[in-house]
Amino acid sequence: MQNSIGDDLKDVLLAGIGALAVTAEKAQQIVEKLIKKGELTVEQGKVLNEELKHKAKEKMKDSISNSKLAVESVIDHLDKLSADEIAAIKAKLADMEKSDAEK
């Protein structure tokens, strides 16, 4: 169960980062199309692109901050686990460390 929570948190974080990256790419493509059509000047496009990058960075910081809060919440609940649950977590961590060492 604990591994599932960690994997889920990791998946949510990676999905957020991926979505943010795709959004930034699409926004840049739209800006470039508008410049080509003459609906935006190159200078306006640069300003808009910088604004989009700034907002993307802020969203990324918020996403990371929220992920850290979620992890801290899980950690806060560790003291409520039974001895069996703690033993299972320790075994899983040992397996993960062994797996990482083999890579």
pLDDT of residue 1: 44
What integer best gives the mean pLDDT of the chain? Answer: 79
Sequence-separated (6 or more) residues with CB below 8 Å from residue 64: 13
Element (H, E) at 7: helix 2-37
- Exposed / middle / buried, residue 27 (Cβ in 10 Å: 0-12, 13-18, 19+): middle
pTM score, whole prediction: 0.46
pLDDT digits 0-9 by tens, 7-55: 776 777 777 777 777 877 888 888 888 888 887 788 887 888 788 888 8
Distance CA 4, CA 22 (A): 26
Residue 79 has pLDDT above 50, yes or no: yes
pLDDT of residue 3 exceeding 60:
no
Report which of residues 2 and 64 the model is more confident about.
64
**pLDDT at residue 83 above 80?**
yes
Q: Give yes or no for residue 59 having a pLDDT over 60.
A: yes
From the list 1, 53, 60, 66, the residue with the least C-alpha distance to 24 is 53
Position 4 scores a pLDDT of 61
Please state, as a whole number, how many other Cβ atoms lie within 10 Å of the Cβ of residue 45. Answer: 19
